[in-house]
Structure 1
Amino acid sequence: MARMKFICDTERCIECNGCVTACKNDNEVPWGVNRRRVVTVNDGIIGQEKSVSVACMHCSDAPCMAVCPVDCFYRTDEGVVLHDKDICIGCGYCSFACPFGAPQFLSKGAFGTRSKMDKCTFCSGGPEENGSVAEFEKYGRNRLAEGKLPLCAEMCSTKALIGGDSDIISSIFNNRVAMREKNGKYPGSKAFGWTTAYGGPDTPAPTPTPAAKIPGAK
């Protein structure tokens, strides 16, 4: 079974925010929530500026899953980390635990009460029936069920952001790095967040949540 992952090549990202726009539009993400965002460091410094597209990395050892007091998170057979909004209590623990700032909350009411958590689903929907209205309203479009990859990666004009089977996308990135090193450019270039989210080459594959324990599974 393929393990679905993201890689953003910082040497190709041009900070166009096409991935951000594609995600918000296709999933009808509410204002105030960004499932994906582009972060730029050393902004304006010639030769040192780097941009990276960041979202939920669907970690092999996801800290959000470890700290959630109501166990609203679960992992699919493809390694995608999803959550059940019907179980989420909006405590915000996941937002503090995530090193990528993926969990997002809307503030509601005069005292800033948190809404249900929202985050990138790797365009894989949620626990509701695939392609249902309820699934789309809560989690956005389920492109994986349609045999498609996340729209953010497909819309990247420079192919800096790639998503899919971890073996395939890591091979693509490794080939890019090898060519750069061969040409004497960007020696030792690494993918942002890869080892943090997925561990090293000896890290075992994550154990999917049994179907019987997935909220709403039939």
Structure 2
Amino acid sequence: MARMKFICDTERCIECNGCVTACKNDNEVPWGVNRRRVVTVNDGIIGQEKSVSVACMHCTDAPCMAVCPVDCFYRTDEGVVLHDKDICIGCGYCSFACPFGAPQFLSKGAFGSRSKMDKCTFCSGGPEENGSVAEFEKYGRNRLAEGKLPLCAEMCSTKALIGGDSDIISGIFNTRVANREKNGKYPGSQAFGWSTAYGGPGTPAPAPTPADKIPGAK
């Protein structure tokens, strides 16, 4: 059984926000909620600027599931972490626990009371019947049921964002890193959030040590 995951290659991301637009448009995500967003660190610093597309990483040991007092979260057979909006009470615990800031809440009223939580579903809908109107209204389009991958990854112009079976996408990323190391470019490139979200086997190779760069040192 495939285990669906995301990887964002920070060496390829150009901060075009195509993934953000694709997600909001295809799933009709309301204004004020961003299931996916692009974050740039060291903005404007030549040689140090990096951008990364961030959403729910569908963690192996998801902290949102651990802290939810009403157990509205569940994991599918494909490893996708979803939630039931009919159970969610909008307490916000998941938003504090998530290291990626994935759970989003719309504020309602003058005093900012929270609505039901919303987040990335890996384009796999929710607990309602696949492809139903109720599923789309609450969770967006169920592309996985259609045999497709998340639109954010498919629309990425530089293929920085890739999503799918963890074994396949980690292999793709590791091949990219190996080619960069071979060509002397971007030494020590790492997949954003991989070890935090998934850990264990499949974690991209660590950055080379100084000895690795000296011919005959090892």
TM-score (norm 2): 0.92
8 Å contact from structure 2 (residues 104, 119) kept in 1: yes
Identity %: 95
Please state whether the residue corresponding to 2:170 is helix, strand or coil.
Answer: helix
Alignment partners' CA distance in 1, 2:216 and 2:105:
23
Alignment partners' CA distance in 1, 2:76 and 2:143:
15
Aligned-residue offset at 1:200: 2.1
Alignment partners' CA distance in 2, 1:177 and 1:211:
18
Aligned CA distance change for structure 1 residues 66 and 207 (closer, same or farther; 3 Å) = farther
Please state whether the residue corresponding to 1:82 is helix, strand or coil.
Answer: strand
Aligned CA distance change for structure 1 residues 212 and 161 (closer, same or farther; 3 Å) = closer
**Residue 200 (structure 1) aligns with:** 200
Aligned CA distance change for structure 1 residues 67 and 206 (closer, same or farther; 3 Å) = farther
Aligned-residue offset at 1:202: 7.7
Alignment partners' CA distance in 2, 1:214 and 1:128:
57
**Residue 63 (structure 2) aligns with:** 63
Alignment partners' CA distance in 1, 2:127 and 2:215:
6
Alignment partners' CA distance in 2, 1:20 and 1:76:
24
8 Å contact from structure 2 (residues 26, 140) kept in 1: yes
Aligned CA distance change for structure 1 residues 28 and 210 (closer, same or farther; 3 Å) = farther
Aligned residues: 218
8 Å contact from structure 1 (residues 127, 217) kept in 2: no
When structure 1 is superposed on structure 2, of 84-93 and 179-188 the one drifting more is 179-188
Structure 2: which 5+ residue stretches go unaligned? none
8 Å contact from structure 2 (residues 190, 204) kept in 1: no
Structure 1: which 5+ residue stretches go unaligned? none
8 Å contact from structure 2 (residues 188, 208) kept in 1: no
Alignment partners' CA distance in 1, 2:146 and 2:46:
42
Aligned CA distance change for structure 1 residues 217 and 44 (closer, same or farther; 3 Å) = closer
Aligned CA distance change for structure 1 residues 117 and 208 (closer, same or farther; 3 Å) = farther
Alignment partners' CA distance in 2, 1:117 and 1:8:
24
Please state whether the residue corresponding to 2:87 is helix, strand or coil.
Answer: coil
TM-score (norm 1): 0.92
Aligned CA distance change for structure 1 residues 216 and 33 (closer, same or farther; 3 Å) = farther
Please state whether the residue corresponding to 2:53 is helix, strand or coil.
Answer: strand
C-alpha RMSD of matched pairs (Å): 11.4
Q: Which of structure 1's runs of 4+ aligned residues deviate more than 4 A?
A: 202-218
Q: Which whole-Å deviations, capped at 9, do the CAs of 1:90-140 have from their partners, x for residues lacking one?
A: 000000000000000000012110000000000000000000000000000
Aligned-residue offset at 1:73: 0.1
8 Å contact from structure 1 (residues 60, 206) kept in 2: no
**Residue 146 (structure 2) aligns with:** 146
Q: Which whole-Å deviations, capped at 9, do the CAs of 1:63-111 have from their partners, x for residues lacking one?
A: 0000000000000000000000000000000000000000000000121
